[in-house]
A and B are shown apart, each in its own frame.
Chain A
């Protein structure tokens, strides 16, 4: 989310290893954080608890992990259409990831964040990256996203 980690000292991170890439901006915004990555799609409805930020899908490799404030790197969503409402609830109650990086444009995930932006003026940046850049993001430890879709990937 915006304003997260604004005061973090840039010198703390190994900038020499950073890669700069540009993605397809689905929802513009600033965000940065530790990376939590998966190659398995997630249904936010039934797969994610909007009150705690935990992944609750027993069949998902990230089951039990918490997404709050992290940069969530996942290929796409899956499952229920109510995923938009669950993500909106998470953004609204400040339990969402700091940014989401996708490989495929996902309508259900996107809609939750678009509604948060339009109705509540709360921004959860969502960026789609191409295959090679997405693969880099999956292996990253820290990612920073800017308004214009520039993504700084630190390993």
Chain B
């Protein structure tokens, strides 16, 4: 029935000799390999699981079925953000019935041996993968970061496939696991830009993702050295407006030392010269609010890094947020603990901001977002895109610095970024 060449180990798993849970996982992998027209499976060295987000009874039943069959992961496995903050949900007023289901789902994966890392930025953990490693990661922003910035190799694993790969250590050899699929499709040439700040990369990512859809973009002409946080923001945005699983930035990302190496022998589908007008429109699209008040500042979509905590601590040192504005930051327990040891969380909390761990903005609802909230400001293009639909709020988008100015004044401090204003030539 299947044309896939299986190893002896694959066959053992498929025959149930390594237990029922691994057998089910292998059956799903082989069927998906067939759908993907893969010819063989490969070993993966680690997995990141997104299926721990509670979406209904079936997702819980799926995970508990595998856990009850004594399913155990066979490679190091981390868990994505979950639907509640395990330490703070009571204080936040979250419905206890919902919290119980969300916790049961997380527990099923922990029981199978996954680490309770609860983060959508697994590349910020000490166990992040290395260049060239085949891995099975889910969560769109994590996938695009692993492929593009680290140079590890993963497909955009859908929920369910992530745990099947973790249980068996195997995945279909297809997509971004293959050299040729990692090459660029679209050359994205930037206009000359000055005064770039942290609000540039999410806007560029949002613009590029909307245009290239699931192709691999090669960004060229950037005369600025982006930080890992900039690349995180770009990746999260490009995987929100598009289905991008891999990008190259020439001279920055590891598989793109030159344009030629990023493109290889593949035929370009498009050479796109980005205009200032396109950038300006993308920035405008992310700003869907026009009220004169602000209720909430949202940081940490994807989860805040230690360097972002450090930057935020510097900006808000000696200041105090306006009493009408809530400032919430989502991150992992790992980053929180590291930032705490460096005195950063104290500084940020003195400003009046609060940390939330384990969960993330894509899952947070009211009352964690205070009931009266109508207008949110965020530094994340991903959240600026999803928040109007997820929590029915208007959104301002801006740099971390603009967000802090807004938090202290209680009025939206949103002006066109300098990189848009002072680059009128294209």
Contacts and interface: CB of A to CB of B under 8 A. Distances in A.
A107 B171 CA distance: 14
Interface string B272-310: 000000000000000000000000000000000000000
Interface string B47-70: 000110101111101100100000
Interface string A82-112: 1111101101110000000000010110111
A9 interface: no
B106 interface: no
B59 A88 contact: yes
B402 to A, nearest CB: 29
Contacts, number: 77
B28 A118 contact: yes
Nearest to A81: B158
A50 B56 contact: yes
B158 A114 contact: no
Contacts of A21: none
A16 to B, nearest CB: 35
Given A84-B160, A118-B27, A118-B28, A92 B35 contact: no
Interface string B9-40: 00000000000000010011001100110000
Interface residues of A, number: 27
A26 interface: yes
B382 interface: no
A114 B31 contact: yes
The winner among A26, A93, A119, A120 for most chain B CB atoms within 10 A is A119
B313 to A, nearest CB: 34
A46 B58 CA distance: 17
A85 B53 CA distance: 10
Nearest to B34: A26
A107 B158 contact: yes
A85 B389 contact: no
A119 B158 contact: no
A107 B35 contact: yes
Contacts of B62: 88, 115, 119
Contacts of A105: 35
Given A82-B53, A105-B35, A115-B28, A92 B61 contact: yes
18 contacts: A50-B56, A81-B138, A81-B140, A81-B156, A81-B158, A82-B158, A84-B158, A84-B159, A84-B160, A85-B51, A85-B55, A85-B56, A85-B58, A85-B160, A88-B62, A111-B158, A111-B161, A120-B58
Interface of A: 26, 46, 50, 78-79, 81-86, 88-89, 91-93, 105, 107-108, 110-112, 114-115, 118-120
Closest 5 CB pairs of A and B: A92-B58, A89-B56, A81-B158, A89-B58, A85-B55
Interface of B: 24, 27-28, 31-32, 35-36, 50-51, 53, 55-59, 61-62, 65, 138, 140, 156-161, 243, 389
